[in-house]
Amino acid sequence: MNPIESVDPAIWDAIQHERKRQQTGLEMIASENYASSAILAAQGSVLTNKYAEGYPGKRYYGGCEAVDDAEKLAIERAMKLFGAEFANVQPHSGASANMAIYFASLQPGDTIVAMSLAHGGHLTHGMHLNFSGKLYKVHHYGVKESDGLIDYDQVAALCKEHKPKMVVAGASAYSRIIDFARFAEICRDNGALLFVDMAHIAGLVAGQQHPSPVPFADFVGSTSHKTLRGPRAGFILAKKEWGPKINQAVFPGLQGGPLMHVVAAKAIAFKEALDPSFAAYAAQTVANARTLAHEFLSAGHTLVSGGTDNHLILVDVNARGLAGRQAERALDAAGITVNRNGIPFDKRPPLDPSGIRVGSPALTTRGMKETEMRQVARWMVEVLAAPEDQAIINRVRGAVAELCMSFPTPHEHA
């Protein structure tokens, strides 16, 4: 018997419920994935018992020899995987990684230029309710209405006018390649630092399916759990000269003891991503998203930017008379999990926007390829054409469960 089952049956039930949901449904939230059993095991290991404030060789606690080894491996592997000069693997999350980057390089009141959340950016890129929007003066750029692509001319114009200390590139709902060289050029022209938040595309960068921001950026912030398929956590890469300031900003600046079980799990994730098989995974993730895009377009749907170069598509369901929330609910009832999402220039409110964001990373981890993507997209199109039709939803739900049985998740029994 699993110890959780005997100690806390209620939590065991919740875990089993979630395990079943993950196994029998199609996980298409673009920021989610299935970590390997080794990663799950590291997170459930005795390393959770250890305090290790500080850094390898410079801790504020005794008994850190073993966790020092784990953290050194995580750092070395992160640097090797991304060709970075410096890595800090302690941030608990992407948001805290981003916070440490700001704290290491900016003062409250400094000016930043970043992508608007409403156009695909992130909360930590200066959204007014987030610390980043409260501490810094923010000027937001977005995408062009004509083609849905980042308006690099607007970035340049904002930099020329406001002379920001930092430009933030990176997005959580943008389906095209981001031109980091262009961002770097704009930063050079205006004396600004470049911070790239690559959380969404980290696995594609690791698998050489998206140009790397590392050669161009002063700082790269990331999560490890999205396309990179590791534990839920964050990490930072930077130019070597920023290393001491970043380390200080993470600890003691904003965190206490690092989660050493998660740091060890990050080390495993970097090792997995260094394996040649990971590039094939990343390539299939992009190919699968392209197939989804093709099927949605063939069915007459509107996609922001007209397609995808990465792991996600943004579907404007409002163009077909649906609200995002209604689309999310109908698909959920059919066993297909997506999230409603604002689209650029959205006329609907953020809580019930016009779009849905659909991603391929988790299904690709299950081994699904183009054939399955075509089938899945057709089911989605069918449900979206009749979101209140319970008979269609039930039929698709059954077919989804059957498909899932042929593509087990990596932790059926973990």
Nearest distance in Å: CB 131, ligand DSN: 14
CB of 72 to ligand DSN, least distance (A): 28
Amino acid identity for residue 122 in this structure? H
Instruction: Give the shortest CB-234-to-ligand DSN separation in angstroms.
Output: 10
**Exposure pattern of 365-386 as b/e (b: 16+ CB <10 Å)?**
bbebeeebbeebbebbbbbbee
Compare residues 172 and 305 and give the one whose CB is closer to ligand DSN: 172
Distance separating alpha carbons of residues 21 and 349, to the nearest angstrom: 29
Q: Quick one: 94 or 230, whose CB is closer to ligand DSN? A: 94
**Measured between alpha carbons, how far is 236 from 241 in angstroms, rounded to an integer?**
14
Q: Where are the beta strands (DSSP E) in 116-206?
A: 137-141, 166-169, 193-197
Indicate the residue whose CB is closest to ligand DSN.
31
Catalytic residue annotation: 51, 53, 197, 223, 226, 232
**Cβ nearer to ligand DSN, comparing 122 with 165:** 122
- How far is the C-alpha of 244 from the C-alpha of 364, rounded, in Å? 38
Residues that bind ligand DSN (CB under 6 A): 31, 94, 122, 172
Helices vs strands, H then E, count in the chain: 16, 14
**Considering the complex, what minimum distance in angstroms separates the CB of residue 374 from ligand DSN?**
25
The nearest distance, CB 122 to ligand DSN, in angstroms, is: 6
Strand 339-341 relative to strand 355-359, pairing: antiparallel
User: Closest approach of Cβ 277 to ligand DSN, in Å?
Assistant: 25
- Residue 158 vs 178, nearer CB to ligand DSN: 178
Residue 31 or residue 116: which is nearer to ligand DSN going by CB?
31
Least Å from the CB of residue 273 to ligand DSN:
19
Tokens read off for 295 = 């099927």
**Dist CA 6 CA 19 (whole Å):** 18
Listing DSSP states for 352-390 in one string gives S-SEEEEE-HHHHHTT--HHHHHHHHHHHHHHHHSTT-H
C-alpha span between 208 and 216 (Å, rounded): 16
Angle between helix axes 324-333 and 390-406 (nearest 10 degrees) is: 60
Beta-strand runs (E) in 34-131: 54-55, 58-59, 86-88, 111-115
Using CA atoms, how far residue 23 sits from 5, 82, 144, 296, 412, in Å, is 19, 31, 39, 25, 7
